[in-house]
Amino acid sequence: MADNPGVSGWQAILPNRGPQPALDDSIDADYLVIGAGFAGLSAARRLNQIDSEANIVILEACEVAEGPAGRNSGFMIDLPHDLASQDYAGNADLDRQQTAINRGAIDFAKSAFAEYHMPGEAMQCTGKTNAAATPKGVLFNKRYAAHLEQMDEKHRMLNAQEMQELTGIDYYLGGLWTPGTALLQPAIYIRSFADALIKNKPVRLYENSAVNQLTKELSTESGTLWHAKTNKGSVKAPKVIIAVNGMIERFGYFQQRLMHVFTYGSMTRALTQNEITELGGAKQWSFTSADPMGSSVRRLSATGGDRIMIRNRFTYEPSMEVTKTRMQAISKDHRQAFDVRFPMLKNVEMEYCWGGRLCLSRNNVFAAGEVEDGVFSACCQNGLGTAKGTAIGVIAAEQASKATRSLIEDYKAEEPPKKLLLKPLMYLGANGYMRWKEMRAGKDK
């Protein structure tokens, strides 16, 4: 299994949750869903909505919320947010379509939030601000605002003083607020989703149950029966949804087409009352950076106390593993990004530092569709899996069950992910390019 490096603060600040037992039996199902992240859980919920009698099994390699789904920054973004672009904007027509897909996903997530009675902090509909700390960042925001104008999307520019009133710090020159982003405490959202979903019998979830083999058991005219094996058990099912993001490569699909990039987060210890007073500003705020290579910063005031979370850096890791040296360097970078923003909190330690896998394609598309008879992929979320993973999970469930109506109407099957260059070239090229762009982000990083 691939790495989940470091301890994710989102999980660690929560009370322990007893995981579901590992699979230790040979069982049958109508649908097998592999992976319990945004895509897998959304797929299972949608299957259950379409047919409440269907026997659905979810196999998750780790504990729920231990993987990327529970260790991200929690921005479930409705608008275009192309990380590879200069200022997030792309072609206006494609961006309108992507926005409609993201909004379909956010509506699905909101309905899960309500139906499953999740705690309020699991999801808050606050919108988000693209924060600019450099003149270049301000320019990116202006360009992005013009793009939003063209798309007829609501937005508001914030000046330096408004940014200071909100944050308590005089670091930012401006911001661009948009209303549609839902903000997650990702570990609470994913845990609550999984725990409520399995109350809807017959949905069963097995944790610590990595699928290490998926083979054809039987092929007849009426279809194929698939056999998935874990260390101690196995599942036979005619329909399989693979919702493991970049790990789908290890099932033999989309090889040499997916880029395995890591990004990283750090979270402070809980601030003391004196530190909170010293900092000032609002108790909660959340910024992505105006520069796609910059830092996302969140101030939290919730379970686990008042804390600050910072995310930055991207590294390309085709092995899907991150070395200790890499983690140490990233942790230093986070400290630096924190210190320049919050000089009054220089004695506040970072309690957690972690990394997580993203999966990108060169042409910014999903790795989706029926990859073999009865096997559906819901992978490659291009770094924005909270919304995109939810969307493609719903779509895969609808494809697998041949549903007549889609909740994500604007989705059209895309071309497959483009082939990558040779591995050593990709490694040097991608890491060099991302590092160069990060350095050019200056104070936005």
Ligand X SMILES: Cc1cc2nc3c(=O)[nH]c(=O)nc-3n(C[C@H](O)[C@H](O)[C@H](O)COP(=O)(O)OP(=O)(O)OC[C@H]3O[C@@H](n4cnc5c(N)ncnc54)[C@H](O)[C@@H]3O)c2cc1C
What is the contact mask toward ligand X in residues 364 to 383, using x (rule: CB under 6 A)? Answer: -----------------x-x
When binding is defined by CB under 6 A, the residue of 10, 31, 38, 189 that contacts ligand X is 38
- Counting contacts by CB under 6 A, is residue 6 touching ligand X? no
> What residues pair up with 129 in beta bridges, in sequence order?
177, 287
When binding is defined by CB under 6 A, the residue of 37, 127, 174, 175 that contacts ligand X is 37
User: How far is C-alpha 399 from the geometric centre of its chain's CA atoms?
Assistant: 22
CB 118 within 8 A of CB 220: no
Nearest approach in angstroms of CB 183 to ligand X is 9
72 vs 361, which CB is nearer to ligand X?
72
When binding is defined by CB under 6 A, the residue of 6, 74, 137, 238 that contacts ligand X is 74
Residue ranges in 97-156 that form contacts with ligand X under rule CB under 6 A: none
CB 227 within 8 A of CB 217: yes
Nearest approach in angstroms of CB 161 to ligand X is 27
- Counting contacts by CB under 6 A, is residue 35 touching ligand X? yes
Number of residues that bind ligand X (CB under 6 A): 38
CA angle 360–366–372, rounded 5-degree value: 120
Residue whose tokens read 């309108």: 96
Nearest approach in angstroms of CB 235 to ligand X is 11
268 vs 386, which CB is nearer to ligand X?
386
CB 362 within 8 A of CB 420: yes
374 vs 383, which CB is nearer to ligand X?
383
Residue ranges in 225-264 that form contacts with ligand X under rule CB under 6 A: 243-245, 247, 263-264
CA separation for the pair 218, 133 (Å, rounded): 59
Q: 245 in the Ramachandran plot: left (φ > 0), alpha (ψ -120 to 50) or beta? A: left
Q: For residue 191, which amino acid is it?
A: R
- Counting contacts by CB under 6 A, is residue 62 touching ligand X? yes
Nearest approach in angstroms of CB 25 to ligand X is 16
- Counting contacts by CB under 6 A, is residue 417 touching ligand X? no
- Counting contacts by CB under 6 A, is residue 211 touching ligand X? yes
Q: Dig out the tokens for 195 from the structure.
A: 């725990």
- Counting contacts by CB under 6 A, is residue 29 touching ligand X? no
Nearest approach in angstroms of CB 182 to ligand X is 10
- Counting contacts by CB under 6 A, is residue 287 touching ligand X? no
Nearest approach in angstroms of CB 23 to ligand X is 10
- Counting contacts by CB under 6 A, is residue 345 touching ligand X? no
B/e letters for 382-412, b = 16+ CB within 10 Å, e = fewer, are bbbbbbbbbbbbbbbbbbbbebeeebbeebe
Nearest approach in angstroms of CB 57 to ligand X is 11
- Counting contacts by CB under 6 A, is residue 71 touching ligand X? yes
Q: Which range, of 31-39, 137-145, 398-406, 429-437, touches ligand X by CB under 6 A?
A: 31-39
What is the contact mask toward ligand X in residues 382 to 411, using x (rule: CB under 6 A)? Answer: -xxxxx-x----------------------
Nearest approach in angstroms of CB 408 to ligand X is 15
CB 307 within 8 A of CB 269: yes
The residue ranges that bind ligand X (CB under 6 A) are: 34-40, 59-62, 67-69, 71-75, 210-211, 243-245, 247, 263-265, 311, 356, 358, 381, 383-387, 389
